[in-house]
Amino acid sequence: MKACELKKGDVVAINAAPHMLEELSVSTPSARGAASIYRLRFRNLLTKAKIDNNVRGEEPYTPMDFERRPVQFLYRERDEYIFMDTETFDQFTLMRDDIADKTDYLVEEMEGITALLSEGKVLSVEMPQSVNLEVVECDPSARNASATARLKNAVLSTGLRVLVPEYIETGEFLRIDTRTGKYMSRA
């Protein structure tokens, strides 16, 4: 597989370890005939280390054999997060450090999550693009109306803090983008 064929979320082997492509940007130099440069950011799925590569489009990468399985988040016990494969009903545990960037979006009994498995071992979990979370606390609204949209702080059921429009109240459910951590809309 060439660098120009890679997409965000692809898993490739770098130094025999599985790496997932997290960011991809392409820059084309203005000189005639100059090759496009691909800026790639990979995350090692075993150590969680980031690797940045700047390569030409023809640079080869070896795709990894892995399987995507639908899973459900069951519950959290201290720093352990317990998931269940929705097809085989097998349970597995991931430590908080392994999924630190995803814990703000996990709610008990949550479905729509995908686990990445290689040789029977869970490498990582992928969150859906958006999740619905309840507002448990938010700043009061300003009294005077304004022509511009105002934002205020809100704390969601998982502890995530986001900026929301002024009209949002405690107890409402909001749709949150799991890639950016930002408010999208009411649920």
Strands laid side by side in the 67-77 sheet: 91-95, 80-85, 67-77, 110-118, 121-126
Share of the chain above pLDDT 90, in %: 36
What is the Cα–Cα distance from 63 to 150, expressed in whole angstroms? 46
Where is 17: in which H helix or E strand? strand 17-27
| 32: pLDDT strictly greater than 80 | no
Model confidence at 144, pLDDT cuts 50, 70, 90, reads low
- Please, are residues 150 and 140 in contact by the beta-carbon 8 Å criterion? no
Q: What is the dihedral of CA 17, 76, 69, 23, to 10 degrees?
A: -50
Q: Which residue has the higher pLDDT, 146 or 40?
A: 40
Residue 31 is encoded by which pair of tokens?
Answer: 């000189």
Q: Any idea which of 63-67, 104-108, 182-186 has the lowest mean pLDDT?
A: 63-67
Summarised one tens digit per residue, pLDDT across range 111-121 is 999 998 877 78
Assign 51 a pLDDT band (cuts: 50, 70, 90): very high
Tell me how far apart the alpha carbons of residues 83 and 104 are, in angstroms, rounded to a whole number.
16
**In the structure, what pLDDT confidence band is assigned to residue 75 with cuts at 50, 70 and 90?**
very high
Structure tokens at 17: 């370890």
What domains, with CATH codes, occur in the chain? 3-63 (2.30.30.30), 67-126 (2.40.50.140), 130-186 (2.40.50.140)
- In this prediction, residues 170-181 reach a mean pLDDT of 90
Q: Are 164 and 172 in contact (CB under 8 A)?
A: no
Is the whole model's pTM more than 0.75, yes or no?
no
Element (H, E) at 7: none
Looking at residue 67, what is its pLDDT? Answer: 87
The beta-strand segments (E) located in 28-180 are 37-44, 50-56, 62-63, 67-77, 80-85, 91-95, 110-118, 121-126, 130-138, 151-156, 161-165, 173-177
Residue 37: both structure tokens together: 């440069």
pLDDT surpassing 80 at residue 71: yes
Nearest CA to 38 out of 51, 25, 22 is that of 25
Average pLDDT, the chain: 87
Structure tokens at 12: 């490739």
Q: How confident is the model at residue 40 (pLDDT cuts 50, 70, 90)?
A: very high
More confident residue, 65 or 183: 183
- Mean pLDDT computed over 94-122: 87
What pLDDT is recorded for position 143?
66
